[in-house]
Amino acid sequence: MHTLICPSCGAGNRVPEDRIGQSPQCGRCKTPLFPGKAFELSGEALARHRQHDSLPLVVDFWAPWCGPCRMMAPHFNAVAERLEPNLRFAKLDTEAEQAVAADYGIRSIPTLMVFRENVLLFQQAGALSASQLEELVTQVKAVDMAQVHAEIAAQEKNGTTTH
């Protein structure tokens, strides 16, 4: 069973594993849970997706005036269309959400972050091609999250956590 946050209204939706590829819709607003392209996020929505969505979340921190951001956008959307419903692809406008960008330490754009089970697994500034995005996603999906959570717990117990 997956928990998916609606990109339109923010409602939580429980979707059985065998129905994830059947174009599920939000129970509240009836919009598709997988829009076939990257969806826009506010800071509040980013927190909700990180905390409650059970699929990996790939976030592009961008700005409308950024040339490399505009160059990467078609690749990002193409990969989102190809790889949904196994992942969520979202964009956060750093101009509109300056406080959120500061909270995440965004110093240059585009910056790509990948979260899985509310853990930041990847962060990189700079535009990526479609093939680089697909390779990144393959690596993120292969991560043993039980081991990651065990390492985080050990760091927290020893007081050496870095997040």
Catalytic residue among 6, 26, 29, 69: 69
Q: Residue 69 catalytic? A: yes
Q: pTM (2 decimals)? A: 0.89
Question: pLDDT tens, 27-52?
Answer: 999 999 998 899 999 999 999 999 99
Q: What is the CA radius of gyration of the chain?
A: 16
Distance CA 1, CA 54 (A): 9
Question: pLDDT tens, 107-131?
Answer: 999 999 999 988 999 999 999 999 9
Distance CA 76, CA 36 (A): 11
Q: Residue 66 catalytic? A: yes
CATH number of the 36-158 domain: 3.40.30.10
Ramachandran quadrant class, 149 (left: phi over 0; alpha: psi -120 to 50; beta: rest):
alpha
